[in-house]
Structure 1
Amino acid sequence: MPYVNIKVTQEGGPNGTGPSPEEKARLIAGVTNLLQDVLNKNPATTFVVIDEVPLDNWGMEGKQVSHIRAATS
């Protein structure tokens, strides 16, 4: 029973949010198919969860991504 958790920042999609519903559907289908193809896992028992994280809650290089994005805009 695989469980896959995908975390993405809330940017780039409609209105500055995360991935669109269509992109999420493609991610879920793609990960499910990959696990079936590579590990022979049953899609009926494969769980994929997508978490959208606000830019202020995602950090790299010791800074919030919101500040990094603002500095490069």
Structure 2
Amino acid sequence: MPIAQVSILEGRPKEKRVELIRRVTDAIAESLEVPAERVRVIVQEVPLEHWGIGGETAEEKRRGGG
């Protein structure tokens, strides 16, 4: 049973997370030639202040730098 863990920044709409799960499932099922029903996808939303980019948090980056 393939399992994919995907970390994304928090704040995306539910519809986008659902689409992500569907597309990741399809990609894994196709590339590994397994039924989609056997694929598991875990989406972890990370708070902006817990995600670092170039020495700053994503929260600082969105505000225009810290």
TM-score, normalization by structure 2: 0.85
Q: Which residue of 2 aligns with 1:24?
A: 17
1:47 is matched with which residue: 40, 60, 63? 40
SS of structure 1 residue aligned to 2:37: helix
SS of structure 1 residue aligned to 2:44: strand
Q: How many residues align?
A: 65
Q: Over aligned residue pairs, what C-alpha RMSD do you find?
A: 1.3
Q: Identity of counterpart residues, as a percentage?
A: 26
The list of structure 1 runs, each at least 4 consecutive aligned residues, that deviate by more than 4 angstroms after superposition, is none
- What 5-or-longer segments of structure 2 have no aligned partner? none
Q: Give the CA deviation at 1:38.
A: 1.4
- What 5-or-longer segments of structure 1 have no aligned partner? 11-16
SS of structure 1 residue aligned to 2:64: helix
